[in-house]
Amino acid sequence: MKELEKNLEATGGVPAEAELAAINRFAKSPLRAEEVYTFSLRLCDNEVDRDWERFDTAALNTLGDLFVGKSGIFDHQWTAEGQTARIYRTEMVREGAQVTAVGDGYCWLKAWAYLLRTEKNADLIAEIEGGIKREVSVGCSVARRVCSICGAEGGTCQHTPGQRYGEQLCYLELRDPTDAYEWSFVAVPAQRKAGVLKRYGHENQGMAQLRAQAELGRKYLRELRREVTRLAMLADDSMDGGALAKAAEHLEEPELLELKRVYGAQAARRFPPVPQLRSRGAAKTEDETEFLI
């Protein structure tokens, strides 16, 4: 399971009647419109981020349900005193003309939150209205991180996020969200730009073993690719070693083993093994009868 944080933005307003009804589901006593300040949040999207990960559309829909009712805090400090606002509604937004880095339609999860118009919250409301408090980070967990190339669990295959295999970009797709913890106002100067900050949970023993085995597999494939390149150049010295090595990066074990067999046989015919000790052959028999007396 993976825990992560993502940045988002906030903008503010006043609740309409339908919005107020949704807000009052979370209030012990009915609230009036003049008592409430509402604002919208840009939560998660399906774009490939700086860590070469992204949410799939199903995950965004699930997160939309999980974040309803979650409270907002400051700087991810989980204290009751730090609670400032609560999400009361979410919606998936699809941008018709915009596409992601992998070519599909861009979409993002929008949320609406409310806080009370109290003296304590007056400064916060002013900062939201003034655009000072506009970045927010969310904390959630996902059960799966899937390789976009082969569909294996993240870290258990030989593909490297951020690399291209043919025309296909490798990234990890975040699937099956299990929980949404909170969303937090973050000091704007501390944020470089809208992006991704992730927090990883402890790996269990089984996952650690899988990662270790995956690393051994990647090492084996690297050595196999180097050996195929070496044998190919021995078989035909007119070949470009750099081009061969680049082509080998896109081949998997079955193809590499076959090329190793073919190039190995060709190289052996071209450079047959020479024994270290030459055969002395049969000893020459001399006719020594002429020395007989």
| pLDDT (tens digit per residue) in 215-227 | 778 888 889 999 9
Phi/psi zone of residue 215: left (φ > 0), alpha (ψ -120 to 50 degrees), beta?
A: alpha
Q: Find, among 161, 182, 185, the residue nearest to 173 by Cα.
A: 161
Q: What tens digit of pLDDT does each residue of 146-165 get?
A: 999 999 998 888 899 999 99
pLDDT at 16: 80
Give residue 50's identity as a one-letter amino acid code. Answer: R
- Whether residue 157 contacts residue 211, with contact meaning beta carbons closer than 8 Å, is answered with no
Q: Which residues of 222-256 are buried (b: 16+ CB within 10 A; e: fewer)?
A: eebbebbbbbbbbbeeeeeeeebbeebeebeeeeb
Contact 129/138 with Cβ under 8 angstroms?
no
Contact indicator for 118, 155 with CB cutoff of 8 Å: no
Express each pLDDT in 162-193 by its tens digit: 999 999 999 999 999 999 888 877 654 222 33
What φ, ψ does residue 240 adopt, rounded to 5°? -85, 115
In angstroms, the CA 89 to CA 42 distance is 12
Is beta strand 164-165 parallel, antiparallel or unpaired with respect to 2-13?
Answer: unpaired
In the chain, which residues have pLDDT < 50? 1-12, 188-203, 291-293
The pLDDT value given to residue 130? 83
Strands (E), 51-190: 53-55, 71-74, 85-99, 105-116, 135-147, 164-165, 168-169, 172-185
What whole-number distance in Å separates Cα of residue 174 and Cα of residue 178?
11
Work out the mean pLDDT of the chain and round it to a whole number.
Answer: 79
CA distance 233 to 282: 40
Both structure tokens of 175: 């699937």
Q: Tokens 């494939």 — which residue?
A: 221
For residue 49, the Cα-to-chain-centroid distance in whole angstroms is: 8
Rounded Cα distance, 252 and 272, in Å: 29
Which tokens hold the place of 66? Answer: 């999980």
Distance CA 194, CA 45 (A): 12
pLDDT of residue 199: 39
Residue 277 has what pLDDT? 61
Which residues are 82's β-sheet partners?
Answer: none
